[in-house]
Amino acid sequence: MSTHDHDHSEDGLSRRKVLECMTWAGTGVLWTITGGVPRSLGIIDSAQAATAPGMTFLQISDSHVGFDKPANPNALGTLEEAVNKINAMPEKPSFMIHTGDITHLSKAAEFDNAERIISQTKLDVHYVPGEHDFIDEEVKLYRERYGRGTKGHGWYSFDAGGVHFIGLVNVVDLKGGGLGNLGAEQLAWLEDDLRSKSKSTPVVLFAHIPLWTVYPQWGWGTEDGARALEFVKGFGSVTVLNGHIHQVMQKVEGNVTFHTARSTAFPQPAPGSAPSPGPMKVEDARLRSMLGVASINFKQGDQRLAIIDTPLQG
Amino acid sequence: MTKITRRDFGLVVAAAVLLPVTTARADNDIEVHIDNFVFAPAELNVKVGTTVTWTNRDDIPHTIVSAGKFRSKTLDTDDKFSFTFTTAGDYKYFCSLHPHMTGMIKVE
């Protein structure tokens, strides 16, 4: 595996090769994006060695604290393993984003346990909610904890390291038969938020449900996601980071890179490969190779962005 | 408000006559199961007065929502939700967490 050559020349990148690399992304490949063309630099060890200084932030997702079913009877334990892995990283990331489903059932104790573990990273964490974070009776626990300074149901933006970050909420007011939903109010805010930004500013959009259509038969997409993407057209570097589907998936379209992160709790099947998108029970020995976090590196100046998906094990 | 008009009186009598019939039909209760993110059966034809009970048999929580008609709490694994249909009509419903899951109860 480690001897496989993934260093393609940019003009010779065939569709087959891209697909091959997409498979590799699932086992920990460093990606660099230059002019919209993905180029993988090798497996994790050599990739980390090749990482130049720049801003690095982490993405963690779908911790589902409280989940205790056969697919992973101890989701809190695997979250803790992910946090230990983060704490052992040779270079401390600038901050972390959590792309939702912090808890499984929005119980106060689940939020408290998640906070107790995640705070051990001693990193600033920027959250967006998943649908599992809004199912307490009064729909208030998430917003009490993470809603301060946000708009609407919890959307916001901030700047870090020369990159403009936008956290979106697409798990509210879902319509029967539909997909994820941003809604008119949030879209108007987004358009306004981007108006003052120069087109050379790198933009990172993050939300729970994929903003691109991954697999509508399982609800893996956002009804009005294309509207949001219209507003970032013309920006030189756009990265869309999502969770929800509990597996790594990547797509590049023009200047936009779409990427989904693993869960720290349980894997879900590849689109259409099972009767439903529910938790996938795998052999115990394989579980930790299907859970993990993502590390994203941005180097000022050359518009390149690198994503490393690191499994908990393997 | 103290006077009962002819029309109101008529309604009270009608309700009194209908009530036992409705109760009798309610014996015919029906179950809907959720397995693999699917409501089964997805479509049901029932009589007025029928109680439908949904059971979530997935490892993931679901809800049962019919816009403006009824809304369950979040159902964890093996939780149930019941609703008695007292008015005829078509009740489209869905899971507000996974809106691609839809179902229909036709009440006549």
pLDDT at A304: 55
pLDDT at A238: 95
Q: Suggest the residue from B43, B96, B102, B104 to mutate for an interface test with chain A (most A CBs closer than 10 A).
A: B96
Domains and CATH numbers, chain A: 17-311 (3.60.21.10)
Identify whether the C-beta of residue A278 lies closer than 8 Å to the C-beta of residue A221. Answer: no
Query: B60, A278: Cβ pair inside 8 Å?
Result: yes
ipTM for this model: 0.81
Q: Look up residue A256 and give its two tokens.
A: 């936009």
pLDDT at A48: 46
Q: Suggest the residue from A135, A224, A273 to mutate for an interface test with chain B (most B CBs closer than 10 A).
A: A135
> Which residues of chain B neighbour A177 with C-beta distances below 8 Å?
94, 99-100, 102
Region B6-19: mean pLDDT is 45
Q: How far apart, in Å, are the Cα atoms of A265 and each of A179, A245, A253, B15?
A: 23, 12, 30, 54
pLDDT at A298: 87
Query: B97, A135: Cβ pair inside 8 Å?
Result: yes
Would you say residue B15 has pLDDT above 70? no
Query: B98, A175: Cβ pair inside 8 Å?
Result: no
CB burial class (10 A; 0-12, 13-18, 19+) of residue A41? middle
Identify whether the C-beta of residue B63 lies closer than 8 Å to the C-beta of residue B43. Answer: no
Region B70-93: mean pLDDT is 97
Region B11-20: mean pLDDT is 44
Residue-by-residue pLDDT tens, chain A, 314 positions: 333 333 333 334 444 444 333 333 333 334 333 333 333 343 344 444 444 467 899 999 999 999 999 999 999 999 999 999 999 998 899 999 999 999 999 999 999 999 999 999 999 999 999 999 999 999 999 999 999 999 999 999 999 989 999 999 999 999 999 999 999 999 999 999 999 999 999 999 999 999 999 999 999 999 999 999 999 999 999 999 999 999 999 999 988 999 999 999 999 999 999 999 999 999 999 999 999 999 999 876 655 578 999 999 98
Which are the contacts of B47, defined by CB distance < 8 A and separation ≥ 6? B25, B28, B107, B108
> Model-level pTM greater than 0.95?
no
B51 touches chain A (CB under 8 A): no
pLDDT at A94: 95
**Which one has a higher pLDDT value, A5 or B62?**
B62
